[in-house]
Amino acid sequence: MSRGGISDTAMVLAAGLGTRLRPLTLDRPKALVEVHGRALIDHVLDRLAEAGVRRVVVNVHAFADALETHLAARRDLAIEISDERDGPLETAGGLKRARPRLGDAPLLVANVDTLWRDAPGASAMADLIAAWDPARMDDLLLLARRETSLGFEGPGDFSRAADGVLTHRGAARDAPFVYAGVHIMNPALIDAWPEGAHGMLGHWLAMAPGGRLRGEALAGTWMHVGDPEGLAAAEAFLATAAT
């Protein structure tokens, strides 16, 4: 596929504690919880490899040694570790620490628990990459429609205009789209971010009024593996889809 100037390096955010998935995460990181016979992080790495990524930076915290050992078995990707054993830094803080490893080209960033099944003939990753336009956006989020999501009971995150411009739900009761755990961003933005633990939402809210935050909706079913119930729903859906 055409990569439109997207880096062949990506980052996977795998340092979370996964507390809502306990007891499964009492003896392993969330990244190594299995869905349909495969660790969550391998589902994500498979998607990135299919999209043309060749090098992945993975941040680690809980059960870091186990995760590093698991990742060493991958032969299709060059994997580097961004170490957060001294304390988890959340999503934006993790990117800030990893910044020297990320290069300067626009790059894919993925949560470790993002999981979806594309609709027939569709490719969410290919569509996301094709939609990236640095002249119009600083960050492009993969979105899921609430009605085609499994394991998600929240009010949604964003509304999306016809040109892809996103508006956060704010004080509204709900919004039609959920952030699906993958985005493309200009890594130069990270240079101005503070050190320490903090999330992405504040940065996204700062981009939104100028129209620099955009979104692309996936065609298919997104699975939110945030708790044991969501995991069970994903297992059941993937088992049915495989038959």
Any domain includes 201: yes
Residue 221 domain-assigned?
yes
- For 151-179, b/e burial (b = at least 16 CB within 10 A) is bbeeebbbbbeeebbbbbbeeeeebbbbb
CATH number, position 99: 3.90.550.10
pLDDT surpassing 90 at residue 114: no
Does 3 map to a domain?
A: no
Query: Domain for residue 186, yes or no?
Result: yes
- 4 belongs to a structural domain: no
Q: Given this model, what pLDDT does residue 154 score?
A: 83
Question: Is the model's pLDDT at 1 over the cut of 60?
Answer: no
Residue 29 belongs to a domain: yes
pLDDT for the residue 242: 58
pLDDT at position 206 over 60: yes
Domain contains 72 = yes
Per the structure, the complete domain to which residue 151 belongs is given by 9-241
The total domain count for the chain is 1
pLDDT in tens, 124-160: 999 999 999 999 999 999 999 998 898 888 888 999 9
> Which is it for strands 34-35 and 78-83: parallel, antiparallel or unpaired?
unpaired
Judge whether 19 lies within some domain: yes
Q: Going along the chain, which residue ranges are E strands?
A: 9-13, 34-35, 38-39, 55-60, 78-83, 107-111, 114-118, 139-145, 149-150, 158-160, 166-168, 177-185, 213-217, 220-224
Q: pLDDT digits over 18-67, tens only?
A: 888 887 788 889 999 999 989 999 999 999 999 999 999 999 999 999 99
